[in-house]
């Protein structure tokens, strides 16, 4: 028996079904309550090639005018390494993560410390520092 759309496990590796995890944020049915939830949902949006969601959750001061996602990028796994702030009552937070991928047959890892701000009850991605 196959799982119906939205019932497969979320690609952010939370262990929850997509519809109950990042899917509710992607659809607009809910807003991320923490910076980590937003980070996970943005990773899932990269996997699903959802540029609209990525732009909607990017702070207007730092967001690009347009976002072209590479269909050749195969995101494989997200590891959250640490968080600082970013809780439901915070106004800022950081999330350090490693996103594992395959591109043109080669494996790679994006290691970043991302900054988030909460304005008018919504979390936004601001920017990040890529680590070697």
Instruction: List pLDDT tens digits, range 70-115.
Output: 999 999 999 999 999 999 999 999 999 999 999 999 999 999 999 9
Domain 9-130 has CATH 3.10.450.50: yes
Q: Are 100 and 109 in contact (CB under 8 A)?
A: yes
Residue among 87, 90, 82, 81 nearest 109 (CA): 81
Which pLDDT score, from 0 to 100, does residue 1 have?
A: 41
Which pLDDT score, from 0 to 100, does residue 7 have?
A: 76
Which pLDDT score, from 0 to 100, does residue 5 have?
A: 55
Q: Token match 């890529």: residue?
A: 130
Q: Are 53 and 29 in contact (CB under 8 A)?
A: no
Instruction: List pLDDT tens digits, range 12-24.
Output: 999 999 999 999 9
Query: Cα–Cα distance between 102 and 59 in angstroms, integer?
Result: 28
Q: Are 94 and 85 in contact (CB under 8 A)?
A: yes
CB neighbours of residue 97 within 10 Å? 21
Instruction: List pLDDT tens digits, range 23-73.
Output: 999 999 999 999 999 999 999 999 999 999 999 999 999 999 999 999 999
The pTM (predicted TM-score) of the whole model is 0.93
Q: Which helix (H) or strand (E) holds 23?
A: helix 22-26
Annotated domain spans of the chain: 9-130
Query: Which residues on adjacent β-strands are paired with residue 84?
Result: 94
Which pLDDT score, from 0 to 100, does residue 76 have?
A: 96
Question: Tokens at residue 115, please?
Answer: 């900054």
């Amino acid at each position: 028996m196959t799982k119906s759309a939205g019932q497969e496990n979320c690609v952010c590796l939370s262990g929850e079904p997509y519809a109950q995890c990042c899917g509710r944020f992607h659809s607009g049915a809910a807003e991320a309550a923490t910076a980590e939830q937003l980070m996970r949902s943005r990773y899932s949006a990269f996997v699903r090639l959802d540029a609209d969601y990525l732009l909607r959750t990017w702070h207007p001061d730092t967001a690009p005018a347009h976002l072209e996602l590479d269909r050749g990028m195969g995101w494989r796994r997200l590891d959250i390494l640490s968080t600082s702030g970013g809780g439901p009552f915070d106004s800022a937070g950081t999330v350090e993560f490693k996103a594992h991928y395959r591109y043109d047959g080669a494996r790679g890892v994006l290691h970043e410390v991302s900054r988030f701000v909460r304005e008018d009850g919504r979390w936004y991605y601001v920017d990040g520092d890529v680590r070697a």
